[in-house]
Structure 1
């Protein structure tokens, strides 16, 4: 990352326990180096052991990543960044509305067959991403299922997580795949308005606000 990016990110990083006297030891490497290594791995789709020698040893990078994941620090860091971006756009850090959608993607041969399925509507065999974003297209919650799991089946758990993690959310836009049961269920169980946005006959894909989700899922 550039010096400008690091200057923006550094204050948002979770503070190590050892700085608060709660045990642990300082990292052997700068967090900037470790984050750069993880970003390189994700962008290139490489294995941990294939980490170039320009970065810290792969074992140290993986241990750093695993520790952050187990303690929820990756999610915390992501949420802080999202809040900062929203504030930069003149919005409150916590959103009050969201958009839900899914996308089926072809699974690689290495993906276990028990976690894959066939989406008959999209003619795709693999997995399905179920996500909720804010109105800027920034991720709020995500779930990955087999591709044969329907919109409405996955929506229950996804929207429950959304309500638990983002208490200010009161409205979620959706496409026609969520028509019916989920609308009433959200109102009765979550005190949440699930508003279905209809497609028009003369336009392809999403219309209006729901388009921002497609920009994330492609």
Structure 2
């Protein structure tokens, strides 16, 4: 790691110790394919710090500070890790560690599902966007599945016009593939019979938890508050406040990066800095 002044988004030595084996193993595999045997020229930790900087601040890749590796290099690594599923797998591995640290089994048995519609920028092609008529948002819909601690188990990004059933079913199938032990899930009233029936075919009992109609305004809803808090965590990362990504896969990768940041801090017991009081 080069000697320079650190940015608030950067990863600590303790957190890097959790992430380094995966990323360095990936880099070594790439280097072993080189017929010249040439050593690595890029510091993977600096690349990951740059990705965290983009994720946290919301800047475009071209606006990366010059003391990071070139933005083309950083994006190359990011795109490779995205396409090869490395970021998603890293999130799964860290989630298992965080659950064990919290005194839970590594594999969850219950999940909470929710969706979030966000506006898009001018980058995404119109074919990947849609209109959420209920929320009056033109953009994309994130279907997020967490465990009962609020840790990410799966995420699917689709056009905002997709129904909760369509988005939720795909996310639930992803959960079952990576966490076959899940047998229970809670959802809001936007998920209909089709979702519940499909969950049953996967061996998952889906329980719809409606809001209390006798209470006006905000109130905590049983189980559902967990995933809603996770969506709040994601909003600390400015790249996720609006969907800037050309590919839905990049949108999903940015969510995985945000949760890798969050979960690694949980494991090492480091606090997450907020924007409040930093100026």
Question: Which range, TM-score by smaller chain?
Answer: 0.7 to 0.9
In the alignment, the residues of structure 1 paired with residue 125 and residue 29 of structure 2 have an alpha-carbon distance, to the nearest angstrom, of: 42
In the alignment, the residues of structure 1 paired with residue 141 and residue 30 of structure 2 have an alpha-carbon distance, to the nearest angstrom, of: 41
Partner of 1:16: 26
Deviation by residue 1:87-128 (Cα, 9 ceiling, x = unmatched):
111112221110001111122233333322222222222221
Deviation by residue 1:162-208 (Cα, 9 ceiling, x = unmatched):
21121111111111111322212221x21111111122122635512
Contact 1:156-1:182 at 8 Å conserved across structures: yes
Moved more, 134-143 or 117-126: 117-126
The 5-angstrom pairing of residues 138-217 of structure 1 reads 138-187=151-200, 189-201=201-213, 202=215, 204=218, 207-217=221-231
In the alignment, the residues of structure 2 paired with residue 211 and residue 26 of structure 1 have an alpha-carbon distance, to the nearest angstrom, of: 48
Moved more, 115-124 or 85-94: 115-124
Over the aligned positions, Cα root-mean-square deviation in angstroms equals: 2.3
Partner of 1:46: 59
Relative to structure 1, the CA distance from residue 104 to residue 13 in structure 2 (aligned partners, 3 Å threshold; closer, same or farther) is same
Relative to structure 1, the CA distance from residue 106 to residue 63 in structure 2 (aligned partners, 3 Å threshold; closer, same or farther) is closer
RCO higher in structure (CA 8 A, sep ≥6) = 2
Q: Does residue 124 of structure 2 align to residue 111 of structure 1?
A: yes
Partner of 1:65: 78
Q: By how many angstroms is 1:157 displaced?
A: 1.9
Unaligned runs of 5+ in 2: 1-10, 233-279
In the alignment, the residues of structure 2 paired with residue 5 and residue 142 of structure 1 have an alpha-carbon distance, to the nearest angstrom, of: 23
Partner of 1:93: 106
Relative to structure 1, the CA distance from residue 8 to residue 205 in structure 2 (aligned partners, 3 Å threshold; closer, same or farther) is same
Moved more, 129-138 or 198-207: 198-207
Q: By how many angstroms is 1:46 displaced?
A: 2.3
Q: By how many angstroms is 1:14 displaced?
A: 5.9
Q: TM-score, normalised by structure 2?
A: 0.70
Partner of 1:76: 89
In the alignment, the residues of structure 2 paired with residue 170 and residue 40 of structure 1 have an alpha-carbon distance, to the nearest angstrom, of: 37
Q: By how many angstroms is 1:20 displaced?
A: 11
Relative to structure 1, the CA distance from residue 206 to residue 120 in structure 2 (aligned partners, 3 Å threshold; closer, same or farther) is farther
In the alignment, the residues of structure 2 paired with residue 20 and residue 126 of structure 1 have an alpha-carbon distance, to the nearest angstrom, of: 36
Q: TM-score, normalised by structure 1?
A: 0.88
Structure 1 residue runs of 4+, over 4 Å off? 11-14, 19-22
Partner of 2:275: none
Deviation by residue 1:61-84 (Cα, 9 ceiling, x = unmatched):
222222222322111211111111
Unaligned runs of 5+ in 1: none
